[in-house]
């Protein structure tokens, strides 16, 4: 049935009204298929999307977790050692003591000032060797002893007093241990030749010469 809207509007188609009341018009399958083919044929549209990269595998901490008790113990040991070191350093500072390596460095510097000049020591050995070459081993040893006392007196004028004997000088604690021991060996051989009436022989001179080298050169003052 056809009619007009009130007020002279456009005629109303009865069928259209009836269909409009039931819902949207049905889709034409052929038209839909055509539209789908056109969509697939459009190269500007991407349908195949790349797959995302898989996430990296999670770190395996199982082995480390098994070591945690040991690592924890090591941590506390290191921490305790550090604390003890700090406390020891503070105690050293308060007591006025020095580290062994620093004390040794100072002692070596002091020893350097004690030693005879190397050139003078070699010249003395040359003179003594000349006496020993003539078989005068006791005289060569006595020359070594006399010049060694002069060396000590030259380095420490207030140390060797005229009243001191060779044995007294051997007991002076201001002289480092090894050179003092070497000097004592020289003095003992000279005393034996002078007071015991036993002239030195070639082997005695060799020992005396070695003792002076220990006394006079750097190697003898390192300990």
The per-residue pLDDT for range 5-46, each reduced to its tens digit, is 444 444 444 444 444 445 566 777 777 777 777 777 777 776
**Average pLDDT, stretch 85-90?**
84
Phi-psi category of 23—alpha, beta or left, where left has phi over 0 and alpha has psi -120 to 50?
Answer: left
* Contact present, 208 and 200 (Cβ < 8 Å): yes
pLDDT value at residue 6: 43
Quick one: the chain helix, strand, coil %, rounded to 5? 65, 5, 30
Which helix (H) or strand (E) segment is 111 a member of? helix 100-114
Q: Is 153 exposed, middle or buried (0-12, 13-18, 19+ CB in 10 A)?
A: middle
Give the pLDDT band (50/70/90) at residue 99.
low
* Contact present, 134 and 179 (Cβ < 8 Å): no
pLDDT over 90, % of the chain = 14
* Contact present, 113 and 155 (Cβ < 8 Å): yes
Prediction pTM value: 0.47
Length of the chain counted residue by residue: 223
pLDDT value at residue 113: 57
pLDDT value at residue 93: 78
Give the pLDDT band (50/70/90) at residue 132.
very high
pLDDT value at residue 143: 92
**Average pLDDT, stretch 59-71?**
71
Least confident of 106-115, 127-136, 197-206, 209-218: 106-115
């Amino acid at each position: 049935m056809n009619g007009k809207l009130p007020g002279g509007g456009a005629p109303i188609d009865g069928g259209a009204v009836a269909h409009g009341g039931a819902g949207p018009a049905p889709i034409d399958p052929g038209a839909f298929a055509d539209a789908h083919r056109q969509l697939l044929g459009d190269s500007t549209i991407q349908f195949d999307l790349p797959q995302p990269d898989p996430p990296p595998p999670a770190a395996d901490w199982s082995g480390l977790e098994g070591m945690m008790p040991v690592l924890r113990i090591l941590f506390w040991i290191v921490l305790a050692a550090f604390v003890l070191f700090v406390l020891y350093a503070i105690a050293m500072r308060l007591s006025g003591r020095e580290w062994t390596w620093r004390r040794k460095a100072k002692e070596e510097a002091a020893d350097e000032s004690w030693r005879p000049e190397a050139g003078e020591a070699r010249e003395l050995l040359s003179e003594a060797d000349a006496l020993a070459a003539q078989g005068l081993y006791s005289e060569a040893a006595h020359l070594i002893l006399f010049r060694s006392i002069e060396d000590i007196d030259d380095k420490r004028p207030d140390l060797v007093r005229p009243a001191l004997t060779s044995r007294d000088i051997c007991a002076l604690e201001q002289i480092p241990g090894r050179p003092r021991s070497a000097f004592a060996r020289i003095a003992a051989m000279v005393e034996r030749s002078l007071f015991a009436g036993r002239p030195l022989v070639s082997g005695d001179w060799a020992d005396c010469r070695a003792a002076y080298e220990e006394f006079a050169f750097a190697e003898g003052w390192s300990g």
